[in-house]
Amino acid sequence: MFRDKAIETIDKSSLERLQLENLKKTISCAQKTRFYKNRLSKTRIKSPDDIRSLKDLQDVPFTTKDDLRACYPDGLLSVDKSDVVRLHTSSGTTGMPTVIYHTQADLDYWTELVSRGLTACGVTKSDIFQNMMTYGLFTGGLGLHYGAERLGALVIPAGAGNTRRQLQLMKDFHTTTLHATPNYMLHIMLKLAEFDISLKDLNLKKVFLGAEPYTENTRKKIEEFYHIDAYNCYGLSELNGPGVAMECEHKRDLHIWEDSYIVEIINPDTGEILKDGEAGELVLTTLKREATPLLRYRSRDLTRILTDTCPCGRTHRRISRITGRSDDMLIINGVNVFPSQIEEILMKRPEVGTNYQIVVDQRESLDRLSIKVELYAKLFEGDIKVLERLRDSIAHEMKSTLLVGVHVELHEPGSLPVSEGKAKRVVDERKN
Ligand code: DLL
């Protein structure tokens, strides 16, 4: 199903023409912001007319999260404040927040992109869409809310948390489609029995999972438990929020909407532009945003462009599942370890439950990597030797994959900290 077949299946040369036209408009918008006026004045691109081909964008320097922070609160605003209808900011927990302003046209386009993604997975006006993401400054709640409403679905703005109420809403209103973090979907699995709700009482068909990295094994675990289809939805608040790229019904990774973004993949260490298929950091330029245009924004997310075509017929390129962030790599006694490698190993094991935590500390000046894993309750009823064998086998597989020794601790279900929003999987207790 298509929301806008003409644009979703546009041929390459028409798409590039459209991108060029909109890139010029974006440069013109950007020059109205204090930040880009100053930055572009130091480059060859002094006016939209200096952009003759899409390649000319490469003469513009990257924009980073630190640039956005330094612009707080309005250094990146390109329209009169009276034309702004909403703003979103990041939490600012790791420094100054970043702020993105939207005109009504910006919000309309964002909503349209989300509706496209939902439609590509078969969501229709007959669906009951329960949105279990946080509403507010975080973009996950409002982003999908308006996208689902636009295509006529009945939206339940449940927000995050309060699992008992979530389950009651699902049951009473026959919810068909959910939107949640993967970590929260895993958490609810444990709660069904506690609240005396069986899957047979529910009418779930689909879930959209996003806002945090997760592996294919985690998707499978969620699909198999709930007997539903789980679709990946990616985005970041600086580029609107959810809906930058979404899967279609074929679940062959994420269609990125190229009428709205120019996509580049770079080597995160050198900034060199990589070829399609090569893994690196995703860099995005907005093409349709008026209030806060961004040129070559470094997402820090690691992915690659997929070159094969998708059977759905959409022509926009696809990116692979995000494997992590260029800044979330752990260095354990000199060895690089990505949290996604650990999740991959854990989630394919049927004994492993729904939650885990990675803890790094130091013993006698050496780094120590510990993995705390929840198992299903029935495993604690049997022979302790079975548990010991399982612990050793996980530790062995971790060591041979990660090339560092791992201390594995097995925990009962519900004993590790849970989060209703994004999971905090890594606790790094080392002093830097
Ligand atoms: O998390 C927007 C969002 C909300 C996306 C709901 C999808 C669903 P931020 O809080 O700015 O925005 O965090 C963005 O989260 O750079 C990725 O590192 C990570 N992320 C988001 N979606 C995915 C995903 C929202 N599907 C950061 N897979 C991004 C992997 C994801 N990582």
pLDDT digits (tens, 9 = 90+) for 145-199: 999 999 999 999 999 989 999 999 999 999 999 999 998 999 899 899 999 999 9
Complete DSSP assignment for 6-55: HHHT--HHHHHHHHHHHHHHHHHHHTTSHHHHHHHHTSS--SGGG--SGG
The binding-site residues of ligand 1, defined as CB within 6 angstroms of any ligand atom, are 90, 133, 139-140, 210-213, 232-237, 241-242, 299, 301, 322, 325
> Has residue 432 got a pLDDT over 90?
no
Least confident residue range of 91-100, 118-127, 155-164, 373-382: 91-100
pLDDT in tens, 289-313: 999 999 999 999 999 999 899 999 9
**Token pair 């971790």 in the structure block, residue:** 398
What is the atom index within ligand 1 of the atom nearest the CA of 254? 26
pLDDT in tens, 350-385: 999 989 999 999 887 788 999 999 999 999 998 999
pLDDT in tens, 57-68: 999 999 999 999
The alpha carbon of 213 and the centre of ligand 1 are apart by a number of angstroms equal to 7
Q: To which H or E segment does residue 115 belong? A: helix 104-120
Question: Helix %, strand %, coil % for the chain, to 5?
Answer: 35, 25, 40
Q: Whose CA is nearest to atom 6 of ligand 1?
A: 140
Sign of CA dihedral 162, 163, 165, 169: positive
- Asked whether 314 and 248 are in contact (CB, 8 A), the reply is yes
Residue type at 270?
T
What's the rounded Cα separation, in Å, for the pair 234 and 372? Answer: 27
Q: How far is CA 229 from the centre of its chain?
A: 18
Q: How confident is the model at residue 328 (pLDDT cuts 50, 70, 90)?
A: confident
| DSSP 3-state of 231 | strand
Q: How far is CA 189 from the centre of its chain?
A: 22
Sequence-distant (6+) residues with CB within 8 A of 367 are 331, 332, 333, 360, 361, 430
The alpha carbon of 235 and the centre of ligand 1 are apart by a number of angstroms equal to 5
Residue type at 103?
T
- Domains of the chain, start order: 1-327 (3.40.50.12780), 330-428 (3.30.300.30)
| DSSP 3-state of 126 | coil
Residues in the chain: 432
